[in-house]
C-alpha cells in the first residue's frame, strides 16, 4: 500500500522515507506518532492515565518468571543467553573498560540481575517501579553484590552521575512516551562512566508500523524510531544485535549498545590518520 493510500506521513524528499503511521490494539489508526501521543497524553490527566494503565497491568501479574514474561517462560533461556553474548561482544571491544557496576532498569523480580548481570559485573543496582516485583527480587537475591533496590518509575529516576559502566534497560522503555524516554536517556548518559554503555533491549518492529498495546499502555516502536530518539539524546549506536531463537508469533527483539556521542568522537580522533582516511 502506498503512503498516500494509508494516510501515513513520511520524510518527504529523503532517500529513505520514514513512514511514521501506526495504530493501537483497539483498531484506531494514526497518521503520525505525534498524533497518538497528543491523544494519549492530552490534558492534566493524560500522562497520569498512561502510566496508571501500565501500573495496573503489572500489579495484576504474578511475581514469577512466567508472570513477568507474559506467559512465555520458555523465552527466558534464549533471552539470557543472547544478552550474555551481547555483553561479551562489548567486553571484547579493544580498549573496553572493565565491567564493574551495572544498573538494571525495570528489574522486576530480578530475573536479568540474577540470571545474567551478576555473572558479568561486580555489583548491580536494581530500579523497578512495581513494589511487589521489587520485594520479590529482594527476597530472591541475597548476594551482597546486589547493592541498591530502588522503587521508582523510570520517568522520575535520576541515576547517580558517573556511577555505572553499563546501564541495562530491557522491556521497560516501551512504557515511556517519547519525551520521557528522551529525558531518561539523557540522564543515563550522565550516569555512565567514560567508555561505558547504555544497553537497550526491547521489542522492535522491523517490518511494518509501530503499535500501541492498550492492555498495558506500551508501544512497540520501529527500529528507525528508536535510533532517532537515541540520536536526539546525544547517544551514538556502537553495536546492535537481533535476538535469535525467538517465537515467530512474537514481535522481534533487538539489543542496542549506545555510547555518549562525545565518547565516539574521542575514539575516532585517537585512531591513526591512516585508519581515518579509509
Quick one: pLDDT at residue 49? 97
Quick one: pLDDT at residue 96? 86
Quick one: pLDDT at residue 97? 87
> Which residues 6+ apart lie within 8 Å of 62 measured at CB?
none
pTM: predicted TM-score of the whole model, two decimal places: 0.89
Q: What percent of the chain has pLDDT over 90?
A: 84
Nearest C-alpha neighbor of 188 from the set 106, 89, 259, 96: 259
Tell me the C-alpha to C-alpha distance, in Å, between residue 4 and each of 7, 31, 36, 160, 205: 5, 10, 19, 47, 21
Q: Which sequence spans correspond to the domains of the chain? A: 33-276
Quick one: pLDDT at residue 266? 56
Architecture of domain 33-276: 3-Layer(aba) Sandwich (3.40)
Taking a C-beta distance cutoff of 8 angstroms, is the pair 73, 66 a contact? yes
**pLDDT by residue (tens digit) across 40-93?**
999 989 999 999 999 999 999 999 999 999 999 999 999 999 999 999 999 999
> Which residues 6+ apart lie within 8 Å of 79 measured at CB?
243, 253
Ranges under pLDDT 50 in the chain: 1-6, 9-17, 273, 275-278
**pLDDT by residue (tens digit) across 204-215?**
999 999 999 999
Amino acid at each position: 500500500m502506498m503512503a498516500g493510500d494509508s494516510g501515513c506521513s513520511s520524510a518527504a524528499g529523503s532517500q529513505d522515507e520514514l513512514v511514521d503511521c501506526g495504530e493501537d490494539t483497539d483498531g484506531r489508526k494514526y497518521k503520525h506518532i505525534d498524533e497518538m501521543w497528543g491523544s494519549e497524553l492530552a490534558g492534566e490527566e493524560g500522562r497520569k492515565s498512561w502510566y496508571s494503565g501500565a501500573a495496573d497491568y503489572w500489579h495484576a501479574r504474578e511475581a514469577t518468571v512466567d508472570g513477568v514474561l507474559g506467559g512465555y517462560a520458555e523465552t527466558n533461556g534464549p533471552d539470557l543467553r543472547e544478552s550474555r553474548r551481547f555483553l561479551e561482544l562489548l567486553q571484547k571491544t579493544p580498549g573496553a573498560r572493565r565491567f564493574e557496576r551495572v544498573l538494571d532498569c525495570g528489574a522486576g523480580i530480578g530475573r536479568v540481575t540474577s540470571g545474567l548481570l551478576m555473572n558479568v559485573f561486580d555489583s548491580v543496582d536494581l530500579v523497578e517501579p512495581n513494589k511487589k516485583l521489587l520485594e520479590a527480587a529482594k527476597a530472591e537475591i541475597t548476594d551482597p553484590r546486589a547493592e541498591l533496590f530502588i522503587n521508582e518509575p523510570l520517568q522520575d529516576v535520576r541515576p547517580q552521575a558517573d556511577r555505572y559502566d553499563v546501564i541495562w534497560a530491557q522491556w521497560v522503555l516501551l512504557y515511556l512516551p517519547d519525551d520521557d524516554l528522551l529525558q531518561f536517556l539523557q540522564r543515563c548518559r550522565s550516569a555512565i562512566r567514560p567508555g561505558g554503555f547504555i544497553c537497550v533491549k526491547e521489542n522492535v518492529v522491523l517490518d511494518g508500523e509501530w503499535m500501541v498495546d492498550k492492555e498495558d499502555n506500551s508501544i512497540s516502536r520501529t527500529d528507525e524510531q528508536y535510533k532517532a530518539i537515541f540520536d536526539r539524546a546525544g547517544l551514538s549506536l556502537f553495536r546492535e544485535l537481533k535476538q535469535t531463537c525467538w517465537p515467530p508469533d512474537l514481535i522481534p527483539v533487538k539489543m542496542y549498545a549506545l555510547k555518549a556521542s562525545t565518547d565516539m568522537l574521542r575514539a575516532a580522533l585517537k585512531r591513526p590518520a591512516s585508519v581515518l582516511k579509509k
